[in-house]
Structure 1
């Protein structure tokens, strides 16, 4: 079936999750980040994901902003950067202003000009996602921003992927789902979406039941995969 809807994960896929720590490291108030920001960003992201998975398994759901703060607190302690209220506040502020990857605006524009539906499906809370979309200036190129908060469980629970068809209709094979997270791409593939894993880090493919149909290193080729000439 031809692709009618392109759906993107947000954090790490459209938005650079390392941007907050990288930006803070350039600011004179936080010289301690100059050599530590990359490790801090990595630990912050890893714990953010781990906490979301654990909460999904245990049924102990909370919003993604709480998860993000909990993960940052762990990462700051891991990096021997806590307690530091000013640094914590600045990093959280910057997380609402994450930079989009350079190829994102043109890629989304091409999809929209071709008449495809475009959307985000993210673990992020609606407020977080709204902040990131506005900061990146890509709101006009998206038909919707879908948050898992409406179902109360984090990806890769199938209830999350259900949101796409509930919003846009059609069949699962008419959806091109794009994520930089291997586990998310695997979950969407097992669900039945045509799936792209944006493997920016060159990681091995996850040993999971679902396997991405396409593997890219950036988003620029998404229009071609969606059938846009």
Structure 2
């Protein structure tokens, strides 16, 4: 199978999980009718704070499991949107443990494995939440590894978080293609030395011009083209 760049120079393909393979907004979407007109705003606040908390802790030299940050971020989002029924909290958290995978994910992972490439997740998510999410999405047999940053004790974009992927596969970082829908994560991967591919699902403007991706695609369908 002839592979397009940068896959033609890769030994492994590593994916961010949340927002890249898994739709982080699907948890709120399942409860949208009960939430009402603030559903989208609630979901966006939840995601924004979840990420913000990871960055602040990393800069402070501190760490907490990503599930703890997910709970704290939801509590903030519910406080910011007080018209949303707080009794939905437990249901929203349970839904976050079993987020929907994007439709093209299974076929893309299968194609990469047929091409002889290693496949893995490298995520800020802690081990328990990643295992639950991967199993719920039916991806467990399609990945060689599911890597949480837990052993590194810090979140991406810290280099020692990215260190987990080349250590797992035993290859140079330059031989790993890294995909994320988060532009900040792509910047971190570029600085680290991966071959980063930005999955720009929502057509966001580019940023971090000195830390550019090697490719930009709208969905994982574009990776093998």
Question: What TM-score, normalized to structure 2?
Answer: 0.93
Structure 1 position 150, deviation (Å) = 0.6
- Aligned-residue offset at 1:213: 1.1
Contact 1:121 1:146 in 2 (8 A): yes
Deviations 1:12-50 (A, max 9, x none): 000000000000114xxx2xx131111111010000000
In the alignment, what sits opposite 2:133? 132
Partner SS for 1:118 = strand
* CA contact 1:177–1:193 (8 Å) conserved in 2: yes
Cα RMSD (Å): 1.3
Residue 69 (structure 1) aligned to one of 46, 68, 71: 71
Moved more, 86-95 or 74-83: 74-83
Q: 1:17 is matched with which residue?
A: 24
State whether structure 2 residue 11 is matched by structure 1 residue 4.
yes
Unpaired segments of 5 or more residues in structure 2?
Answer: 1-7
Corresponding position: 1:39 with 2:41: yes
CA contact (8 A) 2:121 2:145 kept: yes
Equivalent position SS for 1:10: coil
Cα 1:69–1:217 shift into 2, 3 Å: same
The aligned residue for residue 156 of structure 1 is 157
**CA shift at 1:59, angstroms?**
1.4
Tell me the equivalent position of 2:51: 49
Q: 1:60-139 counterparts in 2 under 5 A?
A: 60-81=62-83, 84=86, 86-139=87-140
- For residues 71-120 of structure 1, give each alpha carbon's deviation from its aligned partner in whole angstroms, at most 9, with x where no partner exists: 00111111114672x20000000000100000000000000111110000
Match of residue 190 from structure 1: 191
Deviation, structure 1 residue 157: 0.2
- Cα distance in structure 2, aligned partners of 1:199 and 1:76: 28
Tell me, yes or no, if the aligned pair for 2:36 and 2:84 is still in contact at 8 Å: no
- TM-score normalized with structure 1 length: 0.92
Aligned pairs, number: 218
CA deviation map 1:113-152 (0-9, x unaligned): 1111000000000000001100000110100000000110
Q: 1:55 to 1:200 in 2, by over 3 A?
A: same
Unaligned 5+ runs, structure 1: 225-229
Deviations 1:44-81 (A, max 9, x none): 00000000000000012100000000000111111114
Alpha-carbon separation, structure 2, partners of 1:213 and 1:46: 26
